[in-house]
């Protein structure tokens, strides 16, 4: 479908006779207010999610080698202080990714009973609840069945 209506620049008959002022958008637009800063951090969390997914590929790859190779990896990487600090930082960003995702999804998921809409707060609580349940189940499963 082509645009059938002229832009102001093309519309020579109706074009402004005086010069309009166009304000440039600053490169730091995401610092303009608190909400945009939070948005910027929210989007940054995607780097950490991607990065950790790649790390998981590496961990999984290590299990295809010998057990002693894996032991070396475990000792030198996973049990290092640097790894703990990195994991904690990544965890913080990934948890922020989770909370912003739940809040975002709750705001746009509309469930109606008749004319009334189920409260978004309730949907958010259900999301968080499910997250807690799944995490606890996995945690318990790992601890119990290890």
Q: Is 144 in the site for another protein (CB under 8 A)?
A: no
Select from 42, 31, 30 the least CA-distant residue to 104: 42
Nearest approach, Cβ of residue 64 and another protein (Å)? 3
Task: Tell me which residues in 3-62 interact with another protein (CB under 8 A).
Answer: 3-5, 7-8, 11, 16, 18-23, 25, 27, 29-30, 32-33, 35-36, 39, 43-44, 46-47, 49-54, 56-57, 59-61
Q: Is 125 in the site for another protein (CB under 8 A)?
A: no
Select from 75, 131, 143 the least CA-distant residue to 98: 131
User: DSSP string covering 80-126, please?
Assistant: SHHHHHHHHHHHHHHHHHHHHHHHHHHHH---EETTEEPPHHHHHHH
Is there a contact between 83 and 77 (Cβ–Cβ < 8 Å)? yes
Task: Tell me which residues in 60-79 interact with another protein (CB under 8 A).
Answer: 60-61, 63-65, 67, 70-71, 74-75, 78-79
Q: Is 129 in the site for another protein (CB under 8 A)?
A: no
């Amino acid at each position: 479908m082509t645009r059938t209506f002229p832009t102001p620049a093309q519309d020579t008959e109706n074009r402004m006779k005086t010069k309009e002022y166009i304000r440039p958008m600053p490169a730091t637009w995401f610092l303009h207010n608190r909400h945009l800063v939070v948005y910027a951090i929210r989007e940054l969390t995607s780097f950490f999610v991607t990065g950790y997914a790649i790390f998981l590929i590496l961990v999984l790859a290590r299990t295809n080698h010998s057990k002693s190779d894996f032991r070396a990896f475990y000792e030198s990487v996973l049990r290092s202080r640097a790894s703990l600090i990195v994991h904690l930082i990544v965890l913080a960003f990934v948890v922020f990714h989770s909370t912003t995702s739940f809040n975002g999804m709750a705001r746009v998921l509309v469930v109606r009973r008749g004319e009334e809409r189920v409260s978004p707060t309730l949907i958010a609580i259900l999301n968080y609840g499910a997250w807690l349940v799944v995490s606890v189940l996995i945690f318990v499963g790992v601890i119990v069945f290890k």
